[in-house]
Amino acid sequence: MKDAIFEEIKVAFNDYDADEVLELIPKALEEGVGALEIMDHLSGLLEKIGEQFSIGELFLPDMVMAGDLMDGCMQILKPVIMDSDDYVPSGKTILFGMVRGDVHDIGKNMVKMLWMSSGYEVIDLGTDVPAEAFLEKANEVKPNLIALSSAMSTTVPSMKDTIDLLKSRGYGEEIKIMAGGGSANADLAAELGASCYGGDDAYEALLSVKQLLA
Ligand code: B12
């Protein structure tokens, strides 16, 4: 059952057939497929489109259409995920954003959604956030954690600049700095001087935060 509907979603997604995809998502939910599983499936489809872009089989407009379509899907999945049994206000605040130069926000929004649905307050600075803006907001709100996301290898230097600036002002000790996003991994996070790597996907990001802010 799940395989069949996932295949239908895949075909419609790859055709950028928004009407069809946006009908299939609620249908999958009705059939009992979990919202997180659907989100995972859609992420895989996006990743494939990214791979085809990188080898010149697809082009920028494809990524734009796929990104818009994913946004539409997330609008349907968001209330389901936010209506989580896991919700217990934690009283903990996470300062979050995409580093300077990076406008990808689908992954960040997924992570944010899972954190919020588990009771964390997330202050989302959005995309293309300069290091100084992270510092200014951190000084203002004194978060329990600062989480940085970078989707591209080209914005890794921005992540480094942000970590350097934050550490020069005392962050990274008591208030940890977490690195994540498509271009990050555990080795890179250590190399950049982050306090930790938050994980490969939104679910791992949630587990890391639960552990870190327990
Ligand atoms: C959709 C898309 C776009 C859309 C973005 C729309 C949007 N609103 O986000 C648009 C069209 C705008 C776009 C633009 C560009 N893109 Co683009 N894009 C993608 C694509 C296909 C999907 C990204 C995505 O949403 N993935 C799905 C999400 C769920 O995955 P994710 O972001 O990795 O997030 C997950 C994890 O990383 C993790 N996570 C995320 N953040 C954090 C943070 C923390 C703390 C933690 C713990 C975890 C975590 O959890 C998330 C959920 O599971 C990727 C391909 C790919 N492999 O990802 C390319 C990709 C990222 N783009 C790429 C490129 C090159 C570009 C452009 C430069 C293209 C151009 N020539 O203009 C521009 C750059 C714009 C900019 N300045 O940022 C390259 C980057 C290559 C590189 N250098 O690393 C990729 C990898 C495609 C490729 N294979 O070549 N893109």
Q: Quick check: 169 and 195 in contact, CB under 8 A?
A: no
Q: How far apart are CA 197 and CA 35, in angstroms?
A: 25
Q: What is the average pLDDT score of the chain?
A: 96
Residue 6 Cα to ligand 1 midpoint, Å, equals 22
pTM: 0.96
Does the pLDDT at position 165 exceed 80?
Answer: yes
CATH (residue range 93-212): 3.40.50.280
Q: Quick check: 95 and 147 in contact, CB under 8 A?
A: yes
Where along the chain do its domains lie? 2-82, 93-212
Atom of ligand 1 nearest to the CA of 102: 78
Q: Quick check: 180 and 111 in contact, CB under 8 A?
A: yes
Beta carbon of 97 within 6 Å of any ligand 1 atom = no
CATH homologous superfamily, domain 2-82? Methionine synthase domain (1.10.1240.10)
Atom of ligand 1 nearest to the CA of 108: 41
Ligand 1 binding pocket mutation candidate from 104, 149, 183, 210 (most atoms within 8 A of CB): 104
Atom of ligand 1 nearest to the CA of 101: 77
Note the pLDDT tens digit of each residue in 135-150.
999 999 999 999 999 9
Q: Quick check: 146 and 97 in contact, CB under 8 A?
A: no
Q: Quick check: 192 and 167 in contact, CB under 8 A?
A: no
Side chain identity at residue 78, one-letter code: K
